[in-house]
Protein backbone atom coordinates (compact mmCIF):
# COMPACT_ATOMS: atom_id res chain seq x y z
CA UNK A 1 0.00 0.00 0.00
CA UNK A 2 1.09 3.50 -0.85
CA UNK A 3 2.01 5.73 2.05
CA UNK A 4 0.84 9.26 1.51
CA UNK A 5 2.62 11.90 3.53
CA UNK A 6 0.38 13.97 5.73
CA UNK A 7 -0.29 17.61 4.99
CA UNK A 8 0.71 20.31 7.46
CA UNK A 9 -2.78 20.53 8.97
CA UNK A 10 -2.87 16.79 9.66
CA UNK A 11 0.54 17.10 11.29
CA UNK A 12 -0.76 19.85 13.56
CA UNK A 13 -3.83 17.79 14.46
CA UNK A 14 -1.66 14.75 15.22
CA UNK A 15 0.41 16.90 17.52
CA UNK A 16 -2.63 18.35 19.29
CA UNK A 17 -4.07 14.88 19.86
CA UNK A 18 -0.74 13.47 21.04
CA UNK A 19 -0.30 16.34 23.50
CA UNK A 20 -3.85 15.97 24.74
CA UNK A 21 -4.88 19.49 23.72
CA UNK A 22 -7.99 17.85 22.26
CA UNK A 23 -9.36 14.34 22.53
CA UNK A 24 -11.36 14.46 19.31
CA UNK A 25 -11.56 16.48 16.13
CA UNK A 26 -14.39 18.80 15.17
CA UNK A 27 -14.26 20.93 12.01
CA UNK A 28 -16.68 23.21 10.23
CA UNK A 29 -17.46 24.87 6.92
CA UNK A 30 -18.84 28.35 7.64
CA UNK A 31 -20.21 29.98 4.46
CA UNK A 32 -21.88 33.34 4.44
CA UNK A 33 -25.20 32.79 2.66
CA UNK A 34 -24.51 35.58 0.18
CA UNK A 35 -23.83 33.73 -3.06
CA UNK A 36 -23.32 30.37 -4.71
CA UNK A 37 -20.39 28.20 -3.72
CA UNK A 38 -17.52 27.79 -6.14
CA UNK A 39 -14.63 25.39 -6.66
CA UNK A 40 -12.60 27.20 -3.97
CA UNK A 41 -15.30 26.49 -1.42
CA UNK A 42 -15.25 22.85 -2.54
CA UNK A 43 -11.66 22.75 -1.36
CA UNK A 44 -12.64 24.04 2.06
CA UNK A 45 -15.64 21.68 2.31
CA UNK A 46 -13.67 18.58 1.30
CA UNK A 47 -10.72 19.52 3.47
CA UNK A 48 -12.82 20.08 6.59
CA UNK A 49 -15.18 17.15 6.13
CA UNK A 50 -12.26 14.94 5.08
CA UNK A 51 -10.33 15.71 8.27
CA UNK A 52 -13.39 15.00 10.44
CA UNK A 53 -13.80 11.65 8.71
CA UNK A 54 -10.11 10.76 8.86
CA UNK A 55 -9.97 11.39 12.62
CA UNK A 56 -13.37 9.89 13.42
CA UNK A 57 -14.62 13.33 14.41
CA UNK A 58 -17.51 15.60 13.53
CA UNK A 59 -18.09 18.04 10.69
CA UNK A 60 -20.43 21.02 11.01
CA UNK A 61 -22.12 23.07 8.33
CA UNK A 62 -22.65 26.51 9.81
CA UNK A 63 -24.23 29.45 8.06
CA UNK A 64 -22.35 32.54 9.08
CA UNK A 65 -25.41 34.78 8.96
CA UNK A 66 -24.42 37.51 11.41
CA UNK A 67 -24.43 40.34 8.87
CA UNK A 68 -28.08 41.23 8.11
CA UNK A 69 -27.05 43.51 5.26
CA UNK A 70 -25.52 41.03 2.84
CA UNK A 71 -27.47 37.84 3.30
CA UNK A 72 -30.10 36.23 1.19
CA UNK A 73 -31.76 33.04 2.34
CA UNK A 74 -32.12 31.98 -1.29
CA UNK A 75 -28.54 30.79 -0.98
CA UNK A 76 -29.02 28.56 2.06
CA UNK A 77 -30.75 25.82 0.11
CA UNK A 78 -28.27 25.93 -2.77
CA UNK A 79 -25.33 25.73 -0.36
CA UNK A 80 -26.86 22.75 1.47
CA UNK A 81 -27.44 21.01 -1.84
CA UNK A 82 -23.85 21.63 -2.97
CA UNK A 83 -22.32 20.42 0.31
CA UNK A 84 -24.43 17.24 0.23
CA UNK A 85 -23.68 16.62 -3.43
CA UNK A 86 -19.95 16.79 -2.67
CA UNK A 87 -20.52 14.00 -0.17
CA UNK A 88 -19.58 16.06 2.90
CA UNK A 89 -21.70 14.54 5.61
CA UNK A 90 -22.82 17.04 8.25
CA UNK A 91 -25.64 14.71 9.44
CA UNK A 92 -27.67 16.72 11.93
CA UNK A 93 -24.86 19.23 12.50
CA UNK A 94 -26.43 22.15 10.70
CA UNK A 95 -26.12 25.48 12.51
CA UNK A 96 -26.92 29.15 12.05
CA UNK A 97 -24.59 31.65 13.70
CA UNK A 98 -27.51 34.03 14.29
CA UNK A 99 -28.80 31.57 16.88
CA UNK A 100 -25.83 32.58 19.04
CA UNK A 101 -26.66 36.30 19.19
CA UNK A 102 -27.64 36.00 22.87
CA UNK A 103 -24.35 34.27 23.72
CA UNK A 104 -22.41 36.89 21.77
CA UNK A 105 -24.18 39.67 23.65
CA UNK A 106 -23.38 37.98 26.97
CA UNK A 107 -19.74 37.67 25.91
CA UNK A 108 -19.64 41.38 25.12
CA UNK A 109 -21.10 42.20 28.55
CA UNK A 110 -18.49 39.94 30.14
CA UNK A 111 -15.72 41.84 28.35
CA UNK A 112 -17.12 45.17 29.52
CA UNK A 113 -17.27 43.91 33.12
CA UNK A 114 -13.64 42.80 32.85
CA UNK A 115 -12.68 46.25 31.60
CA UNK A 116 -11.81 44.73 28.21
CA UNK A 117 -14.37 46.56 26.07
CA UNK A 118 -15.79 50.07 25.86
CA UNK A 119 -18.43 52.04 24.03
CA UNK A 120 -16.86 54.52 21.64
CA UNK A 121 -18.56 57.56 20.07
CA UNK A 122 -15.99 58.23 17.37
CA UNK A 123 -17.28 58.12 13.81
CA UNK A 124 -16.07 55.40 11.43
CA UNK A 125 -13.73 57.90 9.76
CA UNK A 126 -12.31 59.03 13.10
CA UNK A 127 -11.77 55.45 14.21
CA UNK A 128 -9.83 54.82 11.02
CA UNK A 129 -7.77 57.98 11.55
CA UNK A 130 -7.00 57.12 15.18
CA UNK A 131 -6.00 53.60 14.24
CA UNK A 132 -2.65 54.69 12.79
CA UNK A 133 -0.72 52.90 10.09
CA UNK A 134 1.76 50.05 9.73
CA UNK A 135 4.58 52.44 10.56
CA UNK A 136 2.77 54.64 13.07
CA UNK A 137 1.08 53.57 16.31
CA UNK A 138 -2.57 54.47 16.84
CA UNK A 139 -4.01 57.01 19.30
CA UNK A 140 -6.31 56.14 22.15
CA UNK A 141 -9.95 57.04 21.70
CA UNK A 142 -11.12 59.79 24.12
CA UNK A 143 -13.85 57.31 25.18
CA UNK A 144 -11.39 54.55 26.08
CA UNK A 145 -11.46 55.23 29.80
CA UNK A 146 -15.20 55.20 30.35
CA UNK A 147 -16.13 53.36 33.55
CA UNK A 148 -17.48 49.82 33.51
CA UNK A 149 -20.85 51.13 34.77
CA UNK A 150 -21.10 53.73 32.03
CA UNK A 151 -20.13 51.16 29.37
CA UNK A 152 -22.69 48.65 30.64
CA UNK A 153 -25.37 51.32 30.59
CA UNK A 154 -24.47 52.59 27.10
CA UNK A 155 -24.18 49.10 25.63
CA UNK A 156 -27.58 48.15 26.98
CA UNK A 157 -29.03 51.34 25.52
CA UNK A 158 -27.37 50.51 22.20
CA UNK A 159 -29.21 47.20 22.37
CA UNK A 160 -32.45 48.93 23.28
CA UNK A 161 -32.34 51.04 20.16
CA UNK A 162 -31.62 54.42 21.71
CA UNK A 163 -28.87 55.31 19.24
CA UNK A 164 -28.75 55.88 15.51
CA UNK A 165 -26.68 53.68 13.20
CA UNK A 166 -23.04 54.72 13.22
CA UNK A 167 -23.19 56.87 16.34
CA UNK A 168 -21.77 54.32 18.79
CA UNK A 169 -19.81 51.09 18.63
CA UNK A 170 -18.44 48.65 21.17
CA UNK A 171 -14.69 48.18 20.91
CA UNK A 172 -12.33 45.65 22.43
CA UNK A 173 -9.74 47.34 24.63
CA UNK A 174 -6.49 45.78 23.56
CA UNK A 175 -3.50 47.83 22.43
CA UNK A 176 -3.50 50.92 20.19
CA UNK A 177 0.26 50.53 19.69
CA UNK A 178 0.18 46.88 18.62
CA UNK A 179 2.22 46.21 15.49
CA UNK A 180 -0.84 44.21 14.35
CA UNK A 181 -3.47 46.75 13.34
CA UNK A 182 -6.25 44.23 13.96
CA UNK A 183 -5.38 44.45 17.66
CA UNK A 184 -5.78 48.24 17.89
CA UNK A 185 -9.09 48.24 19.73
CA UNK A 186 -11.16 46.59 16.99
CA UNK A 187 -14.88 47.29 16.75
CA UNK A 188 -16.80 44.24 17.97
CA UNK A 189 -20.42 45.47 17.87
CA UNK A 190 -22.16 48.10 15.79
CA UNK A 191 -25.61 49.63 15.70
CA UNK A 192 -27.65 48.63 12.62
CA UNK A 193 -31.40 49.08 12.64
CA UNK A 194 -32.09 46.23 10.26
CA UNK A 195 -34.42 43.26 10.16
CA UNK A 196 -32.56 39.97 10.29
CA UNK A 197 -33.95 37.00 8.37
CA UNK A 198 -33.81 34.79 11.47
CA UNK A 199 -34.10 37.06 14.49
CA UNK A 200 -36.37 39.67 12.91
CA UNK A 201 -36.28 42.98 14.79
CA UNK A 202 -35.03 41.52 18.08
CA UNK A 203 -31.61 43.07 17.58
CA UNK A 204 -30.48 46.47 16.37
CA UNK A 205 -26.85 45.78 17.26
CA UNK A 206 -24.84 43.16 15.39
CA UNK A 207 -21.43 41.59 16.16
CA UNK A 208 -18.49 42.05 13.80
CA UNK A 209 -17.03 38.99 12.07
CA UNK A 210 -13.78 38.91 14.07
CA UNK A 211 -15.73 38.81 17.31
CA UNK A 212 -18.55 36.52 16.17
CA UNK A 213 -16.50 33.86 14.45
CA UNK A 214 -14.37 32.64 17.37
CA UNK A 215 -17.47 32.57 19.57
CA UNK A 216 -19.34 30.50 16.99
CA UNK A 217 -16.45 28.05 16.86
CA UNK A 218 -16.13 27.88 20.63
CA UNK A 219 -19.87 27.38 21.23
CA UNK A 220 -19.88 24.44 18.83
CA UNK A 221 -16.71 22.94 20.36
CA UNK A 222 -14.88 23.20 17.07
CA UNK A 223 -11.29 22.07 17.66
CA UNK A 224 -9.62 23.13 14.41
CA UNK A 225 -11.02 26.22 12.74
CA UNK A 226 -9.53 26.03 9.30
CA UNK A 227 -9.62 29.16 7.17
CA UNK A 228 -7.76 30.86 4.36
CA UNK A 229 -4.55 32.85 4.62
CA UNK A 230 -6.04 36.34 4.66
CA UNK A 231 -7.13 35.60 8.24
CA UNK A 232 -3.61 34.88 9.48
CA UNK A 233 -3.26 38.45 10.79
CA UNK A 234 -6.59 38.07 12.56
CA UNK A 235 -5.51 35.01 14.54
CA UNK A 236 -4.20 37.01 17.53
CA UNK A 237 -7.62 38.65 17.79
CA UNK A 238 -9.35 35.26 17.42
CA UNK A 239 -7.26 33.91 20.28
CA UNK A 240 -7.86 37.06 22.35
CA UNK A 241 -11.65 36.74 22.04
CA UNK A 242 -11.61 33.06 22.98
CA UNK A 243 -9.37 33.69 25.96
CA UNK A 244 -11.07 36.81 27.31
CA UNK A 245 -14.53 35.26 26.90
CA UNK A 246 -13.11 32.30 28.86
CA UNK A 247 -13.98 29.46 26.52
CA UNK A 248 -12.40 26.15 27.40
CA UNK A 249 -11.32 24.16 25.46
CA UNK A 250 -10.27 26.83 23.00
CA UNK A 251 -10.69 26.26 19.29
CA UNK A 252 -7.56 26.71 17.23
CA UNK A 253 -7.38 28.61 13.95
CA UNK A 254 -5.17 27.20 11.18
CA UNK A 255 -4.77 28.93 7.82
CA UNK A 256 -4.11 27.47 4.35
CA UNK A 257 -3.84 29.14 0.98
CA UNK A 258 -6.85 29.67 -1.26
CA UNK A 259 -7.36 27.65 -4.39
CA UNK A 260 -6.93 29.67 -7.57
CA UNK A 261 -7.54 28.32 -11.07
CA UNK A 262 -6.01 29.72 -14.25
CA UNK A 263 -8.27 30.98 -17.02
CA UNK A 264 -11.50 30.88 -15.08
CA UNK A 265 -13.60 33.53 -13.41
CA UNK A 266 -13.89 32.88 -9.67
CA UNK A 267 -14.63 36.28 -8.12
CA UNK A 268 -18.21 36.46 -6.90
CA UNK A 269 -18.39 40.07 -8.05
CA UNK A 270 -17.42 39.17 -11.63
CA UNK A 271 -19.71 36.16 -11.78
CA UNK A 272 -22.60 38.29 -10.55
CA UNK A 273 -21.97 40.80 -13.32
CA UNK A 274 -21.83 38.07 -15.98
CA UNK A 275 -25.18 36.79 -14.72
CA UNK A 276 -26.74 40.26 -14.56
CA UNK A 277 -25.49 41.25 -18.01
CA UNK A 278 -26.96 38.04 -19.44
CA UNK A 279 -23.57 36.89 -20.70
CA UNK A 280 -24.07 33.57 -18.94
CA UNK A 281 -27.26 31.62 -18.31
CA UNK A 282 -27.43 32.05 -14.54
CA UNK A 283 -25.14 30.99 -11.69
CA UNK A 284 -25.14 27.42 -12.96
CA UNK A 285 -24.06 28.23 -16.51
CA UNK A 286 -21.78 25.31 -17.45
CA UNK A 287 -18.92 27.71 -18.27
CA UNK A 288 -18.66 28.91 -14.68
CA UNK A 289 -16.89 27.16 -11.82
CA UNK A 290 -19.60 27.50 -9.22
CA UNK A 291 -20.35 24.06 -7.81
CA UNK A 292 -23.83 24.21 -9.37
CA UNK A 293 -22.25 24.98 -12.76
CA UNK A 294 -19.69 22.19 -12.48
CA UNK A 295 -22.48 19.75 -11.62
CA UNK A 296 -24.54 20.91 -14.60
CA UNK A 297 -21.49 20.66 -16.83
CA UNK A 298 -21.16 17.00 -15.85
CA UNK A 299 -18.39 17.01 -13.27
CA UNK A 300 -18.81 14.34 -10.59
CA UNK A 301 -18.13 14.65 -6.85
CA UNK A 302 -15.42 12.00 -7.30
CA UNK A 303 -13.64 14.07 -9.96
CA UNK A 304 -13.67 17.16 -7.73
CA UNK A 305 -12.33 15.11 -4.81
CA UNK A 306 -9.51 13.80 -6.97
CA UNK A 307 -8.75 17.33 -8.12
CA UNK A 308 -8.68 18.78 -4.61
CA UNK A 309 -6.43 15.94 -3.45
CA UNK A 310 -4.02 16.56 -6.31
CA UNK A 311 -3.96 20.29 -5.44
CA UNK A 312 -2.83 19.49 -1.90
CA UNK A 313 -2.94 21.79 1.10
CA UNK A 314 -0.28 24.38 1.75
CA UNK A 315 0.45 27.90 2.85
CA UNK A 316 1.93 29.05 -0.44
CA UNK A 317 -0.19 30.91 -2.95
CA UNK A 318 -0.37 29.40 -6.42
CA UNK A 319 -2.74 28.86 -9.33
CA UNK A 320 -3.74 25.46 -10.60
CA UNK A 321 -4.13 24.77 -14.30
CA UNK A 322 -7.75 24.24 -15.40
CA UNK A 323 -6.44 21.33 -17.49
CA UNK A 324 -5.84 19.43 -14.25
CA UNK A 325 -9.54 19.60 -13.46
CA UNK A 326 -10.27 18.26 -16.94
CA UNK A 327 -7.77 15.47 -16.40
CA UNK A 328 -9.65 14.44 -13.25
CA UNK A 329 -13.06 14.19 -14.90
CA UNK A 330 -11.62 12.16 -17.80
CA UNK A 331 -9.96 9.80 -15.34
CA UNK A 332 -13.18 9.43 -13.38
CA UNK A 333 -15.44 8.75 -16.37
CA UNK A 334 -13.05 6.68 -18.45
CA UNK A 335 -14.12 3.27 -17.13
CA UNK A 336 -17.45 4.23 -15.60
CA UNK A 337 -19.33 5.43 -18.64
CA UNK A 338 -20.55 3.77 -21.85
CA UNK A 339 -18.91 4.78 -25.10
CA UNK A 340 -21.60 5.65 -27.60
CA UNK A 341 -21.69 7.01 -31.10
CA UNK A 342 -22.95 10.52 -31.76
CA UNK A 343 -22.51 12.65 -34.86
CA UNK A 344 -21.99 16.33 -34.12
CA UNK A 345 -21.82 17.68 -37.67
CA UNK A 346 -23.84 15.22 -39.76
CA UNK A 347 -23.67 14.36 -43.43
CA UNK A 348 -25.57 11.45 -44.96
CA UNK A 349 -23.77 8.26 -46.02
CA UNK A 350 -25.82 5.98 -48.30
CA UNK A 351 -24.72 2.34 -48.60
CA UNK A 352 -25.91 1.68 -52.13
CA UNK A 353 -25.59 -2.11 -52.02
CA UNK A 354 -27.44 -2.48 -48.70
CA UNK A 355 -31.07 -3.62 -49.12
CA UNK A 356 -33.62 -0.80 -48.94
CA UNK A 357 -35.85 -0.87 -45.86
CA UNK A 358 -33.82 -3.55 -44.08
CA UNK A 359 -32.32 -3.22 -40.60
CA UNK A 360 -29.96 -5.45 -38.65
CA UNK A 361 -28.79 -5.13 -35.06
CA UNK A 362 -25.07 -5.23 -34.40
CA UNK A 363 -23.57 -5.94 -31.02
CA UNK A 364 -21.24 -3.37 -29.49
CA UNK A 365 -19.28 -3.28 -26.26
CA UNK A 366 -20.42 -0.45 -24.00
CA UNK A 367 -16.85 0.08 -22.85
CA UNK A 368 -14.03 -2.02 -24.28
CA UNK A 369 -11.87 -1.36 -21.23
CA UNK A 370 -14.62 -2.31 -18.78
CA UNK A 371 -16.58 -5.45 -19.77
CA UNK A 372 -18.79 -5.01 -16.69
CA UNK A 373 -20.69 -2.32 -18.56
CA UNK A 374 -21.99 -5.01 -20.93
CA UNK A 375 -23.01 -4.77 -24.54
CA UNK A 376 -25.77 -3.15 -26.54
CA UNK A 377 -27.46 -3.65 -29.90
CA UNK A 378 -27.10 -0.91 -32.49
CA UNK A 379 -29.30 -0.68 -35.61
CA UNK A 380 -27.55 -0.62 -38.98
CA UNK A 381 -29.25 0.14 -42.30
CA UNK A 382 -28.85 1.72 -45.74
CA UNK A 383 -28.81 5.38 -44.67
CA UNK A 384 -26.41 6.55 -42.01
CA UNK A 385 -25.02 9.81 -40.69
CA UNK A 386 -21.28 10.36 -40.39
CA UNK A 387 -19.24 13.41 -39.40
CA UNK A 388 -18.86 15.93 -42.22
CA UNK A 389 -15.10 16.08 -41.72
CA UNK A 390 -14.77 12.30 -42.04
CA UNK A 391 -15.22 12.78 -45.80
CA UNK A 392 -13.09 14.81 -48.21
CA UNK A 393 -13.28 15.14 -51.96
CA UNK A 394 -9.56 15.74 -52.26
CA UNK A 395 -7.80 14.43 -49.18
CA UNK A 396 -4.47 15.77 -48.00
CA UNK A 397 -1.62 13.34 -47.27
CA UNK A 398 -2.18 11.06 -44.28
CA UNK A 399 -5.96 11.47 -44.42
CA UNK A 400 -7.20 7.92 -43.92
CA UNK A 401 -10.92 8.54 -43.67
CA UNK A 402 -13.48 8.57 -46.50
CA UNK A 403 -12.67 9.92 -49.96
CA UNK A 404 -13.63 8.60 -53.37
CA UNK A 405 -12.13 5.14 -53.81
CA UNK A 406 -11.02 4.72 -50.19
CA UNK A 407 -12.15 2.01 -47.80
CA UNK A 408 -12.69 2.59 -44.05
CA UNK A 409 -14.12 0.69 -41.12
CA UNK A 410 -17.48 1.79 -39.73
CA UNK A 411 -17.01 1.27 -36.03
CA UNK A 412 -18.87 -1.83 -34.73
CA UNK A 413 -20.14 -2.56 -38.30
CA UNK A 414 -18.59 -3.15 -41.75
CA UNK A 415 -15.87 -1.91 -44.09
CA UNK A 416 -17.28 0.53 -46.64
CA UNK A 417 -15.70 1.96 -49.80
CA UNK A 418 -16.61 5.43 -50.98
CA UNK A 419 -17.95 5.38 -54.53
CA UNK A 420 -19.27 8.90 -55.18
CA UNK A 421 -20.85 11.99 -53.63
CA UNK A 422 -23.52 14.62 -54.38
CA UNK A 423 -23.26 18.39 -54.02
CA UNK A 424 -25.66 21.33 -53.97
CA UNK A 425 -25.39 24.27 -56.39
CA UNK A 426 -22.73 25.91 -54.16
CA UNK A 427 -20.55 22.83 -54.30
CA UNK A 428 -21.23 21.70 -50.70
CA UNK A 429 -21.31 17.97 -50.26
CA UNK A 430 -24.82 16.78 -49.38
CA UNK A 431 -24.60 12.99 -49.62
CA UNK A 432 -21.74 10.50 -49.72
CA UNK A 433 -22.23 7.14 -51.44
CA UNK A 434 -20.47 3.90 -50.58
CA UNK A 435 -20.73 0.14 -50.85
CA UNK A 436 -20.21 -2.27 -47.97
CA UNK A 437 -18.55 -5.69 -47.89
CA UNK A 438 -20.74 -8.17 -45.92
CA UNK A 439 -17.69 -10.35 -45.18
CA UNK A 440 -16.07 -7.64 -43.09
CA UNK A 441 -18.75 -7.62 -40.40
CA UNK A 442 -17.41 -6.68 -37.00
CA UNK A 443 -17.06 -9.61 -34.63
CA UNK A 444 -16.66 -12.25 -37.36
CA UNK A 445 -12.89 -12.15 -37.11
CA UNK A 446 -12.39 -10.99 -40.71
CA UNK A 447 -8.67 -10.62 -41.47
CA UNK A 448 -8.71 -10.57 -45.28
CA UNK A 449 -7.40 -7.03 -45.52
CA UNK A 450 -6.72 -4.02 -43.35
CA UNK A 451 -7.94 -0.42 -43.45
CA UNK A 452 -6.29 2.58 -41.84
CA UNK A 453 -9.33 4.62 -40.89
CA UNK A 454 -12.19 3.90 -38.50
CA UNK A 455 -15.10 6.30 -38.30
CA UNK A 456 -18.26 6.43 -36.20
CA UNK A 457 -21.82 6.72 -37.48
CA UNK A 458 -25.48 6.46 -36.52
CA UNK A 459 -28.38 4.88 -38.47
CA UNK A 460 -30.34 7.82 -39.93
CA UNK A 461 -33.91 6.53 -39.42
CA UNK A 462 -33.22 5.36 -35.85
CA UNK A 463 -30.97 8.09 -34.50
CA UNK A 464 -32.32 10.80 -32.25
CA UNK A 465 -31.77 14.40 -33.13
CA UNK A 466 -30.15 16.27 -30.25
CA UNK A 467 -28.76 19.66 -29.33
CA UNK A 468 -25.14 19.61 -28.29
CA UNK A 469 -23.39 22.50 -26.56
CA UNK A 470 -19.65 22.80 -26.98
CA UNK A 471 -17.72 24.97 -24.57
CA UNK A 472 -14.46 26.82 -24.45
CA UNK A 473 -13.07 28.95 -21.64
CA UNK A 474 -15.26 31.94 -20.90
CA UNK A 475 -12.20 34.16 -21.01
CA UNK A 476 -9.59 34.74 -23.65
CA UNK A 477 -6.54 32.77 -22.57
CA UNK A 478 -4.19 34.75 -24.79
CA UNK A 479 -5.18 38.10 -23.33
CA UNK A 480 -5.49 36.91 -19.72
CA UNK A 481 -8.64 36.80 -17.60
CA UNK A 482 -8.79 40.46 -16.62
CA UNK A 483 -8.20 43.47 -18.82
CA UNK A 484 -5.16 45.35 -17.49
CA UNK A 485 -6.58 48.82 -18.19
CA UNK A 486 -10.04 48.73 -16.65
CA UNK A 487 -10.15 45.35 -14.87
CA UNK A 488 -13.00 44.12 -17.07
CA UNK A 489 -13.09 40.52 -18.30
CA UNK A 490 -11.48 39.56 -21.59
CA UNK A 491 -14.34 37.45 -22.86
CA UNK A 492 -13.88 34.68 -25.41
CA UNK A 493 -16.61 35.17 -28.05
CA UNK A 494 -16.54 31.44 -28.85
CA UNK A 495 -17.08 30.14 -25.32
CA UNK A 496 -20.40 28.53 -26.30
CA UNK A 497 -21.19 26.83 -29.60
CA UNK A 498 -24.66 25.37 -29.99
CA UNK A 499 -25.17 22.55 -32.50
CA UNK A 500 -28.86 21.84 -32.92
CA UNK A 501 -28.65 19.27 -35.65
CA UNK A 502 -26.66 16.46 -34.04
CA UNK A 503 -27.61 12.79 -34.06
CA UNK A 504 -27.14 10.37 -31.19
CA UNK A 505 -27.89 6.67 -30.81
CA UNK A 506 -31.43 6.02 -29.70
CA UNK A 507 -30.64 4.61 -26.28
CA UNK A 508 -31.16 7.58 -23.97
CA UNK A 509 -34.76 6.78 -23.03
CA UNK A 510 -33.81 6.26 -19.38
CA UNK A 511 -31.22 8.98 -19.19
CA UNK A 512 -31.77 11.93 -16.88
CA UNK A 513 -30.07 15.21 -15.99
CA UNK A 514 -26.33 15.04 -15.41
CA UNK A 515 -26.01 11.45 -16.68
CA UNK A 516 -22.85 11.30 -18.70
CA UNK A 517 -21.43 9.32 -21.62
CA UNK A 518 -18.41 9.16 -23.80
CA UNK A 519 -19.21 9.96 -27.41
CA UNK A 520 -16.41 8.19 -29.22
CA UNK A 521 -13.81 10.50 -30.75
CA UNK A 522 -15.72 13.59 -29.53
CA UNK A 523 -15.35 13.62 -25.75
CA UNK A 524 -17.44 13.21 -22.62
CA UNK A 525 -20.95 14.65 -22.60
CA UNK A 526 -23.77 14.91 -20.10
CA UNK A 527 -27.46 15.56 -20.33
CA UNK A 528 -28.21 19.17 -19.44
CA UNK A 529 -30.24 19.15 -16.23
CA UNK A 530 -32.03 22.40 -17.02
CA UNK A 531 -32.95 22.30 -20.69
CA UNK A 532 -32.99 18.65 -21.80
CA UNK A 533 -36.26 16.71 -22.20
CA UNK A 534 -36.74 13.13 -23.47
CA UNK A 535 -38.17 14.62 -26.69
CA UNK A 536 -35.50 17.30 -27.09
CA UNK A 537 -32.23 15.98 -25.73
CA UNK A 538 -29.62 18.60 -24.86
CA UNK A 539 -26.05 17.55 -24.08
CA UNK A 540 -23.16 19.53 -22.64
CA UNK A 541 -19.65 18.62 -23.62
CA UNK A 542 -17.87 18.15 -20.32
CA UNK A 543 -14.45 17.79 -21.86
CA UNK A 544 -12.84 16.59 -25.08
CA UNK A 545 -10.88 13.34 -25.10
CA UNK A 546 -7.40 14.65 -25.71
CA UNK A 547 -5.17 16.84 -23.67
CA UNK A 548 -1.57 17.79 -23.46
CA UNK A 549 -1.88 17.84 -19.67
CA UNK A 550 0.51 15.49 -17.86
CA UNK A 551 0.70 14.79 -14.16
Give the DSSP H or E segment for 27: strand 26-29
Minimum gap (Å) between residue 542 Cβ and ligand ATP: 22
**Distance separating alpha carbons of residues 101 and 109, to the nearest angstrom:** 12
For the beta carbon of residue 318, count every other beta carbon within 10 angstroms. Answer: 11
Minimum gap (Å) between residue 35 Cβ and ligand ATP: 6
Q: Which is nearer to ligand ATP, 31 or 68 (CB)?
A: 31
Cβ contact 177:138 at 8 Å: yes
Minimum gap (Å) between residue 82 Cβ and ligand ATP: 12
Positions 167 through 196 that interact with ligand ATP (CB under 6 A): none
Task: Look at strands 383-387 and 346-351 and give their pairing.
Answer: antiparallel
What is the full DSSP assignment across 320-366?
Answer: E-HHHHHHHHHHHHHTTS-EE-EESSEEEEEETTSPTT--EEEEEES
Minimum gap (Å) between residue 517 Cβ and ligand ATP: 31
Q: Whose CA is closest to 255, among 7, 422, 480? A: 7
Give the DSSP H or E segment for 541: strand 537-543
DSSP H stretches of helix in 55-95: 74-85
The residue ranges of DSSP E strands in 196-243, in sequence order, are: 205-207, 224-228
- Residue window 36-55: x/- pattern of binding to ligand ATP, with contact defined by CB under 6 A: ----xx-xx-----------
Minimum gap (Å) between residue 309 Cβ and ligand ATP: 14
Minimum gap (Å) between residue 62 Cβ and ligand ATP: 10
Binding test (CB under 6 A) with ligand ATP, winner from 268, 348, 433, 499 = 268
Minimum gap (Å) between residue 413 Cβ and ligand ATP: 49
**Distance separating alpha carbons of residues 393 and 402, to the nearest angstrom:** 9
- Residue window 420-449: x/- pattern of binding to ligand ATP, with contact defined by CB under 6 A: ------------------------------
Minimum gap (Å) between residue 254 Cβ and ligand ATP: 11
Q: Which is nearer to ligand ATP, 321 or 352 (CB)?
A: 321
Q: List beta partners, residue 60.
A: 28
Q: Which is nearer to ligand ATP, 20 or 487 (CB)?
A: 487
Positions 206 through 265 that interact with ligand ATP (CB under 6 A): 227-228, 258-259
When CB distances to ligand ATP are compared, the closest residue is 40
Q: Which is nearer to ligand ATP, 185 or 284 (CB)?
A: 284
How many residues bind to ligand ATP according to rule CB under 6 A?
A: 13
Q: Which is nearer to ligand ATP, 30 or 346 (CB)?
A: 30
Q: Which is nearer to ligand ATP, 43 or 521 (CB)?
A: 43
How far are the Cα atoms of 166, 218, 320 from residue 5, in angstroms, in the given order? Answer: 51, 30, 21
- 273 is a site residue for ligand ATP (CB under 6 A): no
**Distance separating alpha carbons of residues 385 and 391, to the nearest angstrom:** 11
- Dihedral sign for Cα 450, 455, 458, 460, please: negative
Q: Give per-residue burial for 210-220: e unless 16+ CB within 10 Å, then b.
A: bbbbbbbbbbb
Positions 20 through 39 that interact with ligand ATP (CB under 6 A): 30-32, 35
Q: Which is nearer to ligand ATP, 225 or 406 (CB)?
A: 225
Minimum gap (Å) between residue 44 Cβ and ligand ATP: 4
Binding site for ligand ATP (CB under 6 A): 30-32, 35, 40-41, 43-44, 227-228, 258-259, 268
Amino acid sequence: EETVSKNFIEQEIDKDLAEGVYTEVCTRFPPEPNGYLHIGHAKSILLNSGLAKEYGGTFHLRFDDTNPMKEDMEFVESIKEDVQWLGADYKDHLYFASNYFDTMYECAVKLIKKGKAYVCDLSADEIREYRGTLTEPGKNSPYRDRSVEENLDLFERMKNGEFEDGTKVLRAKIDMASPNINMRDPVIYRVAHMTHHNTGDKWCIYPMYDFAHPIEDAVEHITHSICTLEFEDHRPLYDWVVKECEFDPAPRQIEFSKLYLTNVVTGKRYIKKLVQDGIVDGWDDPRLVSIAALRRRGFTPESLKMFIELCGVSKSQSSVDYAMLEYCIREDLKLKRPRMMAVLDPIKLVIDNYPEGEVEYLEADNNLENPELGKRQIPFCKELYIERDDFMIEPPKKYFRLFPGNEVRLMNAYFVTCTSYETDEDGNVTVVHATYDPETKCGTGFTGRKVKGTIHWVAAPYAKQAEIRLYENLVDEEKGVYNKEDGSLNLNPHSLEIRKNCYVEDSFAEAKGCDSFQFVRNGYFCIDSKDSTPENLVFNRIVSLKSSFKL
